[in-house]
């Protein structure tokens, strides 16, 4: 029986699971959930995940939420497929360290920017808040750029850490669309921009683009 993958378009956390499924070449049934349509509030979905959030997978009757738990589960449950936590114990610890750091720091900084630019109506935007959020985001980008371990975040091999960062980094382009003079993509450090291009060059990358972004 294939894995059932419950996804919400534009969710960076759901996107990292989608990338993991494709990277590991696992069979799955794709369930696109509508935020505006109330799909996450339906009793049948809440029975699987009482939090009413995506991502969620169901694998042979086993329901699991939370993106990091899902990615680690897929890697351990299907070890014969391409690994997302490769190498030694210490190498795998570095991947987990990257993910925790990104979720604690990069994501919180990004949330300040998206709240100020994407989720606030243009006429209500606060220029001071936007400038502060942009400055904080640039500092975070420089930090990540300086800490990269090779062609990929944790070294020379693609890992779960890369799939944790890319969907969040992609939100900067969405911010630029909402406010073109923001210039977040253009301000991305060179090594990090080259890394993003490597992720975008993966053969399965285009398939995982959020459906509503394609339009």
117 three-class SS: helix
- Token output for 95: 């991947």
Which residues belong to the active site? Answer: 11
Contact between 192 and 10 (Cβ < 8 Å): no
| Number of other CB atoms surrounding residue 34 within 10 Å | 10
Residues in Cβ contact with 78 at an 8 Å cutoff, skipping those fewer than 6 apart: 24, 26
How far is it, in rounded angstroms, from Cα 48 to Cα 181? 43
| Measured distance CA(133)–CA(124) in Å, rounded | 16
């Amino acid at each position: 029986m294939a894995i059932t993958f419950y996804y919400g378009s534009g969710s960076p956390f759901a996107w990292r699971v989608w990338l993991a499924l494709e990277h590991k070449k696992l069979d799955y049934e794709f369930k696109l959930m509508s935020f505006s349509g109330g799909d996450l509030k339906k009793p049948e979905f809440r029975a699987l995940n009482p939090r009413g959030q995506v991502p969620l997978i169901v694998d042979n009757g086993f329901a699991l939420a939370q993106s990091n738990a899902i990615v680690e589960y897929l890697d351990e449950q299907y070890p014969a497929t391409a690994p997302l936590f490769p190498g030694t114990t210490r190498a795998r610890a570095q991947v987990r360290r990257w993910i925790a750091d990104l979720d604690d720091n990069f994501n919180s900084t990004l949330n300040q920017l998206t709240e100020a630019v994407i989720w606030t109506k243009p006429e209500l935007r606060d220029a001071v808040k936007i400038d502060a959020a942009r400055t904080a985001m640039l500092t975070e980008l420089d930090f990540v750029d300086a800490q990269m371990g090779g062609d990929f975040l944790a070294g020379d091999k693609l890992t779960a850490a890369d799939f944790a960062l890319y969907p969040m980094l992609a939100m900067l382009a969405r911010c630029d669309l909402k406010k073109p003079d923001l210039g977040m993509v253009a301000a991305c450090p060179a090594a990090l921009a080259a890394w993003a291009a490597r992720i975008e060059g993966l053969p399965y990358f285009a398939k995982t683009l959020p459906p509503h972004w394609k339009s």
